[in-house]
Amino acid sequence: MKRRTFLLLSTVAASTLLIGRNQILNSSSGSFNSKLFIPPLIEGEEIDGVYNYNLTIQKAQHSFFADKLTDTYAINGSYLGPTLKLVDGQEVSINYTNKLDESTTMHGHGMHLPANMDGSPHQSIASGESWSARYRVNQRACTNWYHPHAEGKTAEHVYKGLAGVLIIEDKESQALALPKEYGVDDIPLVLQDRFFSVNREIVYAPNMMESMMGYKGDTFVTNGVINPSLEVEAKEIRFRLLNGSNSTVYNLAFSDNREFSQIATDNSFLEKPVSLTSVRLSPGERAEIVVDFSDSLGKEIYLEELTQAKSFLKVAISKEAKNNTTLPATLTTLEKYSPDEAQTTRSFTLSGRMGNLFINNKTMDMHRIDERVSLNKVEIWEIHNQKMMMMGMEHNFHIHGTHFMVLERNGFASNVAQNEKGYKDTVYLAPGDSVKLIVKMTDYRDSKVPYMYHCHFLEHEDRGMMGQFIVT
């Protein structure tokens, strides 16, 4: 099957013609000859029954381009960080040392853990200091990630390169006949977009409009590589997709329009694989997919973003399969709470005006607790993206420390897509959309240290579209 040819439109013209910004380099076109970087896998060093993961947050330089090193932030490397593998039931200590010239934090996005181990703005790591997130892993298999959450600086720190994949395994996932050889048939893909100046430096300089509408780069970067290529065997390949961008929603598909199976969403397996030809991910969302390339030996197929008509990755099916897998018809059984159990309903309206962003007409205040949630009580959370008169903004909604299920989208359960019916921690809302979530905080209470809820469009988060809740 030939690769589809697209006309590349200048969709970022308005973003690049900014007063005071250096000329922007468009690096998205070109051949896909650079080898895809696979972040190293760290499974922890066991010391007295505790698995330790030692991570250094640092300034670095990264070779996005053959002729220039670009200044970045990184974790144990030159861009992004290693993949951390944790197993349900393990006692872990994730130890961060901050060698930047400024404070930051490191949040376990999607992790079910105590509030004081969450890595929120309340657990700041000063320059030259260290901080450890120590807890017992207490959740089902899923693909999460870790990234900064510093007050007002999250977007910039992530944009410069601070992020990494965090894989949770459990007995169920280990027993399933899925592709699971990391870097061979189990591949993490951190999907991002960036602006680069003509001197090959990362440009993070959002103006007021971009802060409101989201800072969306013109160059696709996959695992820190522009225009990468991946060689795989002619068999089932599992991709762990992470939208690690600041504000861009991706609609992902393959160049030959082939079907694939989504097997997991943010925080769990789906009960059964869902057959798709495209999948939408907003910033912070994850999806695990299995693609069957067994009939495609010798072909080159591209992972594309349909909205912008550009590609993230070339997949070259260049090797005979050594070990085959067959995707199970059933993956798991999920515990589901009934809306009839809910004793509390909370409503959250996402809105903006005059350059400010709000949840329930309030902007983020580190000293204010917005909600008090009871432990082990089922609740309904209704989220509404208020559409302004002349324009609408995309948003999503992320809750720390727990997961939820989407009950309704725009008033109807039938609007919830089959591939959204697993546990999630981040949900997308187009302008004017509303969603109804069923939520239950379990295991951890803290009357003083809050969790966060917020839009995960990082410019929106930094401009105040965030609130705090404690579990009592």
> Could you read off the pLDDT of 125-149 as tens digits, one per residue?
999 999 999 999 999 999 999 999 9
What pLDDT score does 389 carry? 56
How far is it, in rounded angstroms, from Cα 405 to Cα 396?
14
What pLDDT score does 397 carry? 98
Whether the Cβ atoms of residue 102 and residue 91 lie closer than 8 Å to each other: no
How far is it, in rounded angstroms, from Cα 143 to Cα 238?
12
What kind of fold does domain 177-319 have according to CATH?
Answer: Immunoglobulin-like (2.60.40)
Q: What is the mean pLDDT of residues 39-64?
A: 98
At residue 236, does pLDDT exceed 80?
yes
At residue 95, does pLDDT exceed 50?
yes
DSSP string of 271-303? Answer: EEEEEESEEEE-TT-EEEEEEE-TT-TT-EEEE
DSSP string of 356-390? Answer: EEEETTB---TT---EEE-TT-EEEEEEEEPPPSS
pLDDT tier at 449, thresholds 50, 70, 90: very high
How far is it, in rounded angstroms, from Cα 293 to Cα 234?
5
At residue 28, does pLDDT exceed 90?
no
How far is it, in rounded angstroms, from Cα 341 to Cα 99?
48
pLDDT tier at 31, thresholds 50, 70, 90: confident
What pLDDT score does 388 carry? 72
How far is it, in rounded angstroms, from Cα 211 to Cα 205?
9
Q: What is the CATH code of the structural domain delimited by 24-169?
A: 2.60.40.420
In the chain, where the domains are located: 24-169, 177-319, 339-471
What kind of fold does domain 339-471 have according to CATH?
Answer: Immunoglobulin-like (2.60.40)
| One fold for 24-169 and 339-471 | yes
Q: What is the mean pLDDT of residues 416-441?
A: 97
What pLDDT score does 19 carry? 32
Q: What is the mean pLDDT of residues 64-88?
A: 97
Whether the Cβ atoms of residue 223 and residue 189 lie closer than 8 Å to each other: yes
What pLDDT score does 22 carry? 43
What pLDDT score does 24 carry? 55
* Count of residues making up the chain: 472
What pLDDT score does 392 carry? 83
Q: What is the mean pLDDT of residues 60-80?
A: 97
What pLDDT score does 14 carry? 36
Q: Which of 211-215, 354-358, 373-377 has the highest mean pLDDT?
A: 373-377
Q: Model-level pTM?
A: 0.94
Contacts (Cβ under 8 Å, ≥6 apart) of 5 = none
What pLDDT score does 30 carry? 66
Instruction: Compute the half-sphere exposure of residue 115: CA atoms within 13 Å on the CB side of its CA.
Output: 21
Whether the Cβ atoms of residue 250 and residue 286 lie closer than 8 Å to each other: no
Q: What percent of the chain has pLDDT over 90?
A: 90
How far is it, in rounded angstroms, from Cα 230 to Cα 185?
11
